[in-house]
Amino acid sequence: MANIAVVEDESSLRADLVEYLSACGHDVIGCEDGIALDRAQAARPADIIILDVNLPGEDGFSIAKRLRDHSEVGIIMLTARGVNVDRVVGLEIGADVYLVKPIELRELEAQVRTLARRLKAQPVAPAPMAQPVKPASNSWIYDQVAWALITPRGATLKLTANERVFVNLLVDRPGEPVSRADIFRALGKRQWDMGDRSVDSMVRRLRSKGEEVLGHDLPIEAVHGTGYAFAAPVSMR
């Protein structure tokens, strides 16, 4: 089960979420705003943060962005607004899940369990004496334990939980396109929805982060009518 922080200014809803998720076996704390969340994180960091968009003071988008800038914590965003731009913004700044109120508590808990499994699904590190295969000079490295892409020159790009799932699919079949349907399933979505642009938004954010951190484009290419491919030599460790 997960350590969860629920950030919601509506006290009755916050209490309901804390009570329900606690009854499901999670360790849950309620916070009314970003300041209370910061205090809670300093005392006991959460694995997953359920974050309302419309908060007093600092809004949920701003909180999510600064969390993602220095943390791989799971982020589930809640909003009363169904406008698609909110969903896109939430996913682009690094939210793992985006739900529109009124939320179904069973669906929320299912999303929590799915996200918790993804966050904990880190492969076992190789034994200390094992010697990694030396990649070709022009080869990228995907570090499964560190959740990172490493350029041929040695620069490192850390990945979020969703980015890790996405990149893992691509580097497992370098040069071959991976369909959007396969990507959606890997990300825990029920099925591919042609109107859901969350994967494309995530890729735009990942490319932008790559350019900012590495100083050049990532070798992730869109394949028209199919999905995405990793268009460079890559080894895994």
Please name the amino acid found at residue 129: M
Q: How many other C-beta atoms lie within 10 A of the C-beta of residue 176?
A: 11
Q: What is the pLDDT of residues 82-121, one digit of tens each?
A: 555 566 666 667 788 888 888 899 999 999 998 888 777 5
What domains can be seen in the chain, in order of their start residue? Answer: 3-120 (3.40.50.2300), 140-236 (1.10.10.10)
Q: Three-class SS of residue 113?
A: helix
How far is residue 27's CA from residue 43's CA, in Å, rounded to a whole number? Answer: 14
Q: What are phi and psi of 236, to 5 degrees?
A: -115, 145
Distance CA 205, CA 145 (A): 22
**Residue reference for tokens 């995907």:** 142
Q: What's the pLDDT tens digit per position in 47-59? A: 999 999 889 999 9
Q: How much is the pLDDT for 146?
A: 85
The pLDDT score that the predictor gives to residue 127 is: 39
CA distances for 57 relative to 10, 90, 224, angstroms: 14, 18, 43
What's the confidence (pLDDT) of residue 128? 42
Residue 61: Cβ within 10 Å count: 19
Please answer whether residues 201 and 91 qualify as being in contact, where contact means their C-beta atoms are separated by less than 8 angstroms: yes
Q: What is the pTM of this model?
A: 0.56
| Helix spans in 50-179 (H) | 60-70, 84-92, 105-120, 161-172
pLDDT score recorded for residue 129: 44
3 pLDDT band, cuts 50/70/90, is very high
Cα distance between residue 187 and residue 182, in whole Å = 9
